[in-house]
Amino acid sequence: MTNLPRNYEYIQTFFTSNSRGTRMGKRVAKNIAECAQYLKPPILCVGCGDGFEVECLAKGLNVPPLEEHVYGVEVTRERVKIAQENKLPVVLGAAENIPEIVGDRKFNIYCAHTLEHCFDIKKVIDNFKKIALDTIVIIVPIELKGRTRNRAHFSPVANLGSISNMFGMDYEITISYNWCIELQGRLIIKKDPMNWPRKIQDRSSELLIK
C-alpha cells in the first residue's frame, strides 16, 4: 500500500461525509457528468472521495465504473475503504505520489476541489503533465482567502492564473466559471500539438448559474 506524505495524516478525520442521494449530491453528480464530455477513458480521478466521482464520470461516459475506464485515487483511508467495499476501482494515495501509484500508465485526468488542499501544487502539476494522455480537467473554488472550513489546508496558489502558468507553453487552456454549490473555476487543459503560440481562452463572461 502506498505510504502517504506525513502532511496528509491530519486529514484522515476530515471529509468522511457521503453526499450520495442528497440534493447537493445530485447537483454535484450532474456537474461531474457534464465534465465527462471533455474526457475519454482511461481517466484518473484524483481526490475521488468514496468513489462517488468515479461513478459520476462513468455514468457521464456511459461506461461501467471499471479500472480500465475510470480509476480513482483518494487520500483518506476511510473513503477508500468505502469505495472498495462498493467494488469501485479506488486506491489510497496522494496527488504528489501519483507516479508511484500508476507506474508507466497514462490517463486523461479529472481533479475537482482537490488541488487547493495539496501541499505541493507544483509537484502535483508536474505529475499530471507526466502521466497525461491528452486532457486534464481541473476545478477549484474561486474564493480561497481566509478559508478554514473543516480546519483543512487551503493553498493560496490554487487559483486559475497560477495553475495555468504552471503548465507552461505547451498546453491549450480554456478557463470558465460555473456554480455548483459555490462559484468554481474550471480549466480544460489540452496538450497543444503546435506548441506555439500558447492558447489561453478565457470564457469568464460565460458565467453559468444553475
pLDDT band at 5 (very low <50, low <70, confident <90, very high): confident
Give the Cα separation of 28 and 117 in Å (integer): 19
pLDDT tens figures, 84-131: 999 999 999 999 999 999 999 999 999 998 998 888 999 999 999 999
Q: Hey, what's the torsion of the CAs at 72, 35, 99, 107, to 10 degrees? A: 100
pLDDT band at 182 (very low <50, low <70, confident <90, very high): confident
pLDDT band at 192 (very low <50, low <70, confident <90, very high): low
Indicate the range of 20-29, 44-53, 65-74, 110-119 predicted with least confidence.
Answer: 20-29
Question: Helix %, strand %, coil % for the chain, to 5?
Answer: 35, 25, 40
| CATH class of the region 6-202 | alpha beta
pLDDT at 205: 47
pLDDT at 196: 45
Give the Cα separation of 85 and 81 in Å (integer): 6
pLDDT band at 207 (very low <50, low <70, confident <90, very high): very low
Provide the whole-model pTM: 0.84
Q: Show me where the domains of the chain are located.
A: 6-202
User: Which whole number is the average pLDDT over 159-167?
Assistant: 88
List beta partners, residue 43.
70, 108
pLDDT at 209: 39
Beta strands, E only, 52-181: 70-74, 90-92, 107-112, 132-141, 171-180
Q: Is the pLDDT of residue 144 over 70?
A: no
Cβ pair 124, 99 in contact under 8 A: no
Where do we find the cell 506525513? 6
